[in-house]
Structure 1
Amino acid sequence: MANQLSQLDQIFAALADPTRRAIVMRLCAGEASVGELADPFEMALPSFMKHIHVLETSGLVQSEKSGRVRTCRLSPDALVGAEDWFQQQRAIWEARLDRFEAYVLQLKKEKERASAKRPSRTTKRKGSE
């Protein structure tokens, strides 16, 4: 479990940066060379490579070098742990919201019952005419 959390932490940390999210989004369209990936960003190649390294360390991206060209591709299986975590969180929060909704409906019914037992304010009192 601790190792899984560590992997999950690395994935979320990798995706916390907008540059790395943009790289992942680009790789959703297919593999690309580091040069192609770096082209839209105004940063030095060594700085860009740090982003690639973080994505590789998290397991989101794999790269291989052929001659002078390093090609990157997405590893979608790395997101399975994050997806599982989101599903667990969704189940927890949906259960909490269901309980909250039931509680609010119960309060509403109790309020309606209490107001039905009280005499109406529109009835006139004796001697007030």
Structure 2
Amino acid sequence: MAVTVQQQLAAISERNRFRIVELLKGGPQPVGGIVDALGLEQPQVSRHLRLLAEVGVVEATKRAQQRIYRLRPEAMQVLNDWVQGFAALWAERMDRLGSLLDDDRAPEQNP
């Protein structure tokens, strides 16, 4: 099943999952480190991590008895590309507004 940007955004928009993503920006973390940093119970953190993994935002590797989670750069790139589409739209609109303002400020020519 292909995951959509909408599904990724919905997953990240929940407050605790957003906090997890913010934490993982700093680098991979074991589940215990995430639990400590967020002050949540381990089962809660595991549920949030499972959902983030299902939409492809994070992935886990196993090291001995620990699971180490990290952000998936590919997922972040998909989200970045989506946001950049809006940045281009707003840049174009601001350019048009600037042109309109420049035209409005142009000195009137006497007939």
- TM class by shorter-chain length? 0.7 to 0.9
Which runs of structure 2 are paired with 1:93-108 in the superposition (5 Å)? 93-108=90-105
Of structures 1 and 2, the larger Rg is shown by 1
Letter matched to residue 50 of structure 2: H
1:113 to 93, 103, 108: 108
Letter matched to residue 41 of structure 2: A
1:15 to 12, 16, 32: 12
1:37 to 34, 39, 52: 34
- Identity, % of aligned positions: 27
1:61 to 55, 58, 63: 58
Partner Cα distance (1:22, 1:44) in 2: 14
Which sections of structure 1, spanning at least 5 residues, go unmatched? Answer: 118-129
The normalised TM-score by structure 2 is 0.79
Question: Cα RMSD between the aligned structures?
Answer: 2.2
Contact conserved, 2:19 with 2:38, CA < 8 A, in 1?
Answer: no
Secondary structure of 2:60's match?
Answer: strand
Which sections of structure 2, spanning at least 5 residues, go unmatched? Answer: none
Contact conserved, 2:35 with 2:42, CA < 8 A, in 1?
Answer: yes
